[in-house]
Amino acid sequence: MTTFYLIRHGQTEWNRERRIQGHLDVKLSEEGREQALRAGQALQGEGIEYIYSSDLSRALETATIIAQELEMPVAGTLCDLREINFGDWEGMSIEQIAAEEPEAFAEWREDTVNRSVPGGESFGMMAKRVLKCIIDLGKKHPENKVAVVTHGGPIVYTLGWIMKLTLEEQLQIKIANCSISIVEYDPQAGEWEILKLNDTSHLD
């Protein structure tokens, strides 16, 4: 049985400004670093054996701070754990996109699952790579506790998939910066169980 600790990266300035980050390499804010420190402290005593991270700075910096608190290295970075690629819209707010590219935005909103963002990818494309990555980690570490530091989109999809929600329903799940969600995975049976969802008690 693999126990996954799914952790969203700490806050960035763009999170505060509600700007889309996607694959852009935005660093943590001071508050984000403090959140990562608290997450690391909350995970002490959990017996985590491996830490993996998205290769983007906001996730890797979060993972590095957590790893320091747990006195262990980051085992590796995986590009498949990246946030959805928002292409031409990265750096913009949703309000700005709607105002400047109303037709493209309306078309995308009609089918966010299958329609790619201009120059980017669809939620369906992101979901496929993220799920494969998580399952591969489970098969690699079938009896271990594994922390995975990633982004809101990948965590939302993983939890929604376990709950058998449609991709449209999954988009209603809220995942806070440096929240911790815990899931168990049985690689042999292919069964999943959510033990904790979007826990932010360590940030209070």
Catalytically active residues are: 9, 83
For residues 45-81, one letter each, b for 16 or more C-beta atoms within 10 angstroms of the residue's C-beta and e for the rest, the string is eeebebbbbbebbbbbbbbbbbbebbeeebbebbebb
Q: What is the DSSP pairing of strand 180-186 with strand 145-150?
A: unpaired
DSSP class of residue 115 equals S
Task: Determine the Cα–Cα distance for residues 204 and 198; give it in Å rounded to an integer.
Answer: 13
List, in sequence order, every residue forming a beta bridge with 28; answer none if it has no partner. Answer: 12
Helices marked H in the chain: 13-17, 30-43, 57-70, 94-100, 102-110, 123-140, 152-162, 167-170
Q: To which H or E segment does residue 148 belong?
A: strand 145-150
The DSSP-derived string for 61-88 is HHHHHHHHHHT----EE-GGGSPP--GG
